Amino acid sequence: MRVDIITVLPELLESPFSHSMMKRAKDRGLLEIYTHNLRDHTPYKQGQVDDYQFGGGAGMVMMPEPLAILLDKLKEDRAYDEVIYMTPDGPLFTQKTANTLSLRENIIIICGHYKGIDDRIRQHYVTMEISIGDYVLSGGELAAAVVVDSVGRLLPGVLNDETSALFDSFQDGLLAPPVYTRPADFRGWKIPDILLCGDPKKIDDWRYEQSVKRTKERRPGLMD
Ligand code: ADE
């Protein structure tokens, strides 16, 4: 999978993709991530990429031209399955969206800043919008990192059996069950006996029950 990220702060995106699973995905050639500094593509002086909004009001808006120039350039070189705009007013990101995106080959992610991007880019280029939650970040970069991380780990070959995504929270519409490791007795706090019974079927049933219980208690909306 290839991900092209358009940003005014490429430095913000260096660390999230240089460790752990994302590093492994890149090292194995399963995930390619290219960050593009929008300022390198603006026709305006001094790397200008934003301007005052028409109609007045506080806050700058990202100009359409630098974005269009860069988007056209990228699209000339290959076909993209989605042009995604990270924005708090988009549909909420879920595991289902991550699963869907993990099947795509090439995607572009636009990180907004200031008041956001000129709406004509949303109308004419953007095919999908994503919000990672009902709160406002100072830019789309951290949100883009969240999306790429959750999608990247689903790519075949990134996770091994031990870290398989099949048992993640949300993957089957339920939260994950509680997990325990050694010691079995820590300060007198004991793990559930069933986990030591040695019967995989019984343990699986218990885990499923715990998942249902947790989901009902914590996120009843997921059960609908
Ligand atoms: N940009 C700013 N806030 C955001 C959010 N919550 N989700 C996605 N992109 C954003």
- Which residues sit with their C-beta closer than 6 Å to ligand 1? 86-88, 112, 131-133, 135-137, 140, 143
Tell whether the model's pLDDT for residue 45 goes beyond 80: yes
8-20 confidence digits (pLDDT tens) = 999 999 999 999 9
Higher pLDDT pick, 102 / 163: 102
| Band of pLDDT at residue 171, cut at 50, 70 and 90 | confident
Give 110's strand partners: 6, 85
CATH topology of domain 169-223: Trp Operon Repressor; Chain A (1.10.1270)
| Band of pLDDT at residue 53, cut at 50, 70 and 90 | very high
Give the mean pLDDT of 64-68.
98
Domain boundaries, the chain: 2-152, 169-223
| Band of pLDDT at residue 122, cut at 50, 70 and 90 | very high
Task: Give residue 37 CA to ligand 1 midpoint distance, Å.
Answer: 19
For 160, half-sphere exposure in the C-beta direction (CA atoms, 13 angstrom radius) is 4
Q: Does domain 2-152 have CATH number 3.20.20.70?
A: no
Task: Give residue 85 CA to ligand 1 midpoint distance, Å.
Answer: 9
Give 107's strand partners: 3, 82
Give the mean pLDDT of 40-48.
97
Name the nearest CA neighbour of 194 among 212, 175, 208, 174.
208
Give the mean pLDDT of 63-74.
98
Whether residue 132 contacts residue 110, with contact meaning beta carbons closer than 8 Å, is answered with: no
Mutate to test the pocket of ligand 1, among 87, 92, 128 (most ligand atoms within 8 A of CB): 87
